[in-house]
């Protein structure tokens, strides 16, 4: 039974590490898009339709970054718990 727990924990650990790596890459891509949207927004006249378009895009990207960060944090917790079982 203990070996099965260790095997399952190793699987959770590997999955969590892969998810962390993927989501970190995703987060970096989103940050680049956010930077671009903010530059476009800042170049526009505040309150104009262009400014609003890029402001909405920036808000949406911030929400996506927040969701990705939550997935990273969740998988870090899974990783720590799996490492405790293996140790």
CA triple 84-81-62, angle to 5 deg: 145
Say what the pLDDT of residue 14 is.
Answer: 97
Say what the pLDDT of residue 2 is.
Answer: 87
Each residue's pLDDT tens digit, 47-69: 999 999 999 999 999 999 999 99
Residues of the chain with pLDDT under 50: none
């Amino acid at each position: 039974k203990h070996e099965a727990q260790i095997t399952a924990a190793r699987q959770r650990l590997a999955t969590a590490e892969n998810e962390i790596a993927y989501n970190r890459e995703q987060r970096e891509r989103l940050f680049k898009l956010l930077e671009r949207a903010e530059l476009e927004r800042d170049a526009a006249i505040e309150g104009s339709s262009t400014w609003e378009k890029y402001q909405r895009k920036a808000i949406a990207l911030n929400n996506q970054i927040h969701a990705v960060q939550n997935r990273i944090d969740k998988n870090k917790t899974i990783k720590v718990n799996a490492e405790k079982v293996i140790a």
